[in-house]
Amino acid sequence: GENVEQHPSTLSVQEGDSAVIKCTYSDSASNYFPWYKQELGKGPQLIIDIRSNVGEKKDQRIAVTLNKTAKHFSLHITETQPEDSAVYFCAATGSSGGYQKVTFGIGTKLQVIP
């Protein structure tokens, strides 16, 4: 099955700095890579995603890059703000036995220091 590794597990940045979270995946058949933000006591919220036919995608202060050859993808948050503080999960999605399964990374706790 798919295995997703995510690092770092914790990340502290000063407000206004950039934050980068990296993930690798093992299954070359995976073709959809979402990123989720989870605040304490809440469910994950999709913040950006990328499909395997695209190398980069940007949405305001958030960008994601994908290197299919190396099987890794990254989340970049620029001009970080205190409200960006949360746990971020990367995920890889592919078909398994006819079902689309999402495999999550372990999560990165991001703290933005005002």
Partner 1 sequence: GAVVSQHPSRVICKSGTSVKIECRSLDFQATTMFWYRQFPKQSLMLMATSNEGSKATYEQGVEKDKFLINHASLTLSTLTVTSAHPEDSSFYICSARDPDGFSYEQYFGPGTRLTVT
Minimum distance from residue 102 beta carbon to partner 1 (Å): 6
Minimum distance from residue 109 beta carbon to partner 1 (Å): 8
105 vs 112 by CB, closer to partner 1: 105
The contact set with partner 1 (CB under 8 A) reads 31-32, 34, 36, 41-46, 49, 51, 89, 93, 97, 99-102, 104-107
Contact 37, 88 (CB under 8 A): yes
Q: What are 25's two structure tokens? A: 């995946």
Minimum distance from residue 84 beta carbon to partner 1 (Å): 19
Residues with Cβ within 8 Å of 39's Cβ and at least 6 positions away in sequence, in order, are: 45, 86, 87
3 vs 18 by CB, closer to partner 1: 3
